Amino acid sequence: MKKFFSVHTLVAAALSLFAAVHSQAGVSKAAFLQGSQVEGNADYLISAAPISVLFNEYSSIDPSVYQHDTNQANQLTVLEDGDYLVAATMPILSVETPDNRPCAALEVFVNGSPAPGSLGQSGYIRNQPRNTNMQSETSCHAHLLLRGLSAGDVIELKAFKTAQPAILTQIQTATLYVEQVDQNRSVFSGLSADSLIGVNLNPDYEGAGEDPLELPWASNRKDGGFSHSNGNAGIQLSGGTYLVFVNVPLELASSSRISPSLEILLDGQIVPGGQSRQGYNRNASGHIESSIHFAGLVEVNGSQNLTTQLVRYLNSGNTGNAVLPDGKQASIFVEKIGASGVFLSKATETTNAADPTDWNSNSKEQVVWENASLSDATYSHSGDKITVKQAGDYLLVYNDLLQSTAVRPNPRITVEVNGQALPGAETKTHYIRSDGGHNTSSGTLVFPLEGLAANDVVTVSTQREGQTGYVGIEEFSNEAAIVGLIKKDSLDPATLTSAPRVTSFGGDREGFHISIQQYSSSVVADSVSVLLNGEAVDASVSTSGSVTSITYSFPSIPDSLSSHAVELSYTDSAGAAQSASLSFMVADIYAKVSPSSANATVDTSSSGFVANVSQISSNVHGNNIDNANRQLAGAYSDADGVPYLNVLWMISFPLQPPIH
């Protein structure tokens, strides 16, 4: 049987980078999918109705547990009965810039129906062209347990706009991570109890002295070691380390610029890094929906009571009422995990030399982690760098809470491996209005780190996305950014009976690459045939471990925005014919100089352009061309009349071929 893989992508450069990070088959009993388009191969999100995300960029699955047919790239089918942990991340970019508020959301669907507790609608963008550094990026998130799925059930991630749907926004590599949670794991999972319906989720604690609202839960899975009564808030835990996810969707009932604080508590005390406030709700341009999310590791000493609560502080937005949207629920997931292969640390500072406490630098700065409260021989750590000492697959969880008096900043948090940013590993929900008491916001991220090698270095970085101005960790007694890493069981592809699968594909103006994961059968290298736009090309074929890579470089630069079709065929070691139909667009916009414009009289054996360059240690000339020419002429002197030294004379440059 032939396999067909149809892909159209506008983010090929990022794909090439991301494919280089992956070197193994992935997490056992897990699926890791990525894509940037929605149904119909549409590049823009302009739908007010939920529309499926196409996972046509990266597809890493355990084929014994899942099926992902790339001709139906929006659907992930489970092959076994069971419970499944889901983490969804969807970075968003506003393509148009009218003075408005385009807002996005995501929701997980099972067999065409929304999964309770999976709504994430934190994707608020404040387009404001009159501001030089207007916010144009955001992200949506959700993390929960899908309880009691049956073999053949279909999981989809759907995206939609909650406000200003006609304004063009683009998905920047959405990620769906799904992991089977068997009965040997110790888990509590629940949805908000009916008693929460219609209740104000923004009680004014600091302004009016109202009591915080504890979230009541109705469990849908409660394993041994957890004590809880349905309709109550408290979950009794025994000593150990726990992975905790909470999602709370919000709908404004009155007022504007509200942003309740979600808090995670043990015995009434907020845990380190245990606050989230990305649920800003403007109540303008149709924006009345938002959500709050927490993801992190929590250390429990002895027997302690875990509760979650919502509260309004003076710096977390206006007073006013917010409720659960009609028919929607909050969700919670708590899992006790072993101590082996776990890393946990917190941070308040970055590598920003000008001010380490400022998380809103124009340049990308790394978060500096304090001494780890949890770690073992799986990791080493120094400052901003977390080094994994064992090859394998990891799950990263992150949470922060930032504050500012600047107007409309939005720091962007990203994750890097060996300095290379991972596409899709972003949280960008830090918009702070600095009006109506809204001076704090937060970000949450759950992301798989697949195929790390021993001594790979993981960093978390922050960089200004919206307005300039100081943004720091919220000045709460126990507040900090927190990061956790959990080593997962890796899949052994050689033990699985499966034909090879195309897992990633991408192309740009340099050429294209294809990655094929091998299982019980492998790619016969000398059988590989590649057609580019209908013409046979000599592509490079190499295999490292269980991954076969096929790459091709254009002999000359293709036209900007040109589309290219790739037909791949090969035979696997079981003798089966395999094929894939792929396509990509060169997304870069550029012009080319026609060969007919060449000057035939140029002596190509002599030197080309000659550059006269100068640099002095003091900026005395400003942004003025006449002064720049004066500097090049060596006419500037210091206070003693001594000409400034051209510091470039002291720098040696390698000889380059002449430019003609």
Are 587 and 508 within 8 A, CB to CB? Answer: yes
Whether 295 shows a pLDDT value over 70: the answer reads: yes
Q: What is the pLDDT of residue 82?
A: 98
- Specify the range with the lowest mean pLDDT, choosing from 237-246, 358-367, 424-433, 583-592: 583-592
When pLDDT is cut at 50, 70 and 90, the band that residue 66 belongs to is very high
Asked if pLDDT for residue 6 goes beyond 60, the answer is: no
pLDDT digits (tens, 9 = 90+) for 323-345: 999 999 999 999 999 989 999 99
Cβ 538 vs Cβ 507: under 8 Å: no
Q: What is the mean pLDDT of residues 559-581?
A: 92
Cα gap 570→597, rounded to integer Å: 42
pLDDT above 70: percentage of residues in the chain: 91
Q: Is the pLDDT of residue 246 over 60?
A: yes
pLDDT digits (tens, 9 = 90+) for 15-29: 333 344 455 579 999
What confidence score (pLDDT) does residue 2 get? 30
Q: Mean pLDDT, to the nearest integer, of 87-111?
A: 94
Q: Report the 3 state secondary structure along 127-180.
A: CCCCCCCCCCEEEEEEEEEEEEECCCCEEEEEEEEEECCCCCEEECCEEEEEEE
Output the CA–CA distances (angstroms, integers) from residue 458 to 15, 60, 526, in the order listed. 19, 21, 37
Q: Around 350, how many Cα atoms within 13 Å sit in the side-chain half-sphere?
A: 28
Percentages (nearest 5) of helix, strand, coil residues in the chain: 5, 45, 50
Residues 542 and 548 sit within 8 Å (Cβ to Cβ): yes
Residue 72 reports pLDDT greater than 60: yes
Write the DSSP symbol of residue 648.
Answer: G
Give the pTM. Answer: 0.85
Determine the Cα angle at 260 with ends 165 and 144, to 5°. 70
The helix or strand, by DSSP H or E, that contains position 12, with its residue range, turns out to be: helix 12-21
Contacts of 4 (CB under 8 A, 6+ apart): 70, 71, 579, 580, 581
pLDDT surpassing 70 at residue 8: no
- Per the CB < 8 A criterion, the answer to whether 257 and 435 are in contact is yes
Higher pLDDT, 345 or 95: 345
CA angle 427, 135, 143 (to 5 degrees): 20
pLDDT at 637 over 80: no
Give residue 202's pLDDT: 97
Range from 271-280, 323-332, 573-582 carrying the lowest mean pLDDT: 573-582
* pLDDT reported for residue 507: 87
What residues have CB less than 8 Å from 115, skipping those under 6 apart?
86, 107, 108, 109, 144, 146
Instruction: Quote the DSSP letter at residue 256.
Output: S
Which residue in the block uniquely carries the two structure tokens 């403007």?
A: 282
Residue 609, pLDDT score: 63
pLDDT at 589 over 80: no
Residue-wise DSSP of 554-570: -SSPPPTT-EEEEEEEE
User: In terms of Cα–Cα distance, which of 517, 397, 346, 379 is closest to 456?
Assistant: 379
Q: Which residue has the tokens 């002429």?
A: 633
Is the pLDDT at 128 greater than 50? The verdict is yes
C-alpha span between 529 and 513 (Å, rounded): 14
d(CA 132, CA 161): 25
- Residue 131: pLDDT band (50, 70, 90) is confident
pLDDT tens digits along 598-633: 777 877 777 666 667 777 766 666 666 677 777 777
| Complete DSSP assignment for 257-303 | SB-PEEEEEETTEEEEEEEE----B--BTTB-EEEEEEEEEEEE-SS
588 pLDDT higher than 90? no
Least confident segment among 102-116, 150-164, 242-256, 587-601: 587-601
| Torsion angle, alpha carbons of 72, 75, 81, 83, to 10 | 160
Beta-carbon contacts of 497 under 8 Å, excluding residues fewer than 6 positions away, are 519, 520
CA pair distance 20, 26, nearest whole angstrom: 14
Question: Predicted confidence band at 592 (pLDDT cuts at 50, 70, 90)?
Answer: confident
Beta partners for residue 109, in sequence order: 114, 156
Q: Identify the band that residue 293 occupies on the pLDDT scale cut at 50, 70 and 90.
A: very high
Tell me how far apart the alpha carbons of residues 546 and 549 are, in angstroms, rounded to a whole number.
10
Cβ atoms within 10 A of the Cβ of 647, count?
11
pLDDT greater at residue 110 or residue 635: 110
Per-residue confidence band for 475, with pLDDT thresholds at 50, 70 and 90: confident
- Contact 306/264 with Cβ under 8 angstroms? yes
* Per-residue pLDDT at 83 exceeds 90: yes
What tokens appear for 33 in the block? Answer: 């999918």
- Any residues with CB less than 8 A from the CB of 639 and at least 6 apart, and which? none
In this prediction, residue 18 carries a pLDDT of 39
Whether the predicted pLDDT of 58 surpasses 60: yes
Round to whole Å and give the CA distance between 165 and 150.
35
Whether residue 537 is predicted with pLDDT greater than 80 in this model: the reply is yes
Q: What is the mean pLDDT of residues 110-132?
A: 93
Residue 335: per-residue pLDDT: 98
Gap between the Cα atoms of 228 and 245, Å rounded? 17
Q: Mark 43-75 as b/e (b = at least 16 C-beta within 10 Å).
A: bebbbeebbbbbbbbbbbbbbebbebebeebbb
Q: How far apart are CA 548 and CA 375, in angstroms?
A: 34
Looking at per-residue pLDDT, the higher value among 636 and 507 belongs to 507
Contacting residues for 621 by C-beta, under 8 A, at least 6 apart: 627, 628, 630, 631, 636
Cβ neighbours of residue 13 under 8 Å, at least 6 residues apart?
506, 508, 587
Q: Is the pLDDT of residue 374 over 90?
A: yes
How far is 502 from 500, CA to CA, in rounded Å?
7
Per the CB < 8 A criterion, the answer to whether 396 and 445 are in contact is yes
Provide the mean pLDDT of the chain.
Answer: 90
- Do the beta carbons of residue 8 and residue 565 sit within 8 Å? no
- Band of residue 653 on the pLDDT scale cut at 50, 70, 90: low
Q: What angle do CA 544, 550, 555 make, to 5 degrees?
A: 135
Residues 6+ apart with CB under 8 A from 632: 612, 613, 614
**pLDDT band per the 50, 70, 90 thresholds, residue 93:** very high
Q: Are 343 and 463 in contact (CB under 8 A)?
A: no
* Cβ(163)–Cβ(127) below 8 Å: no
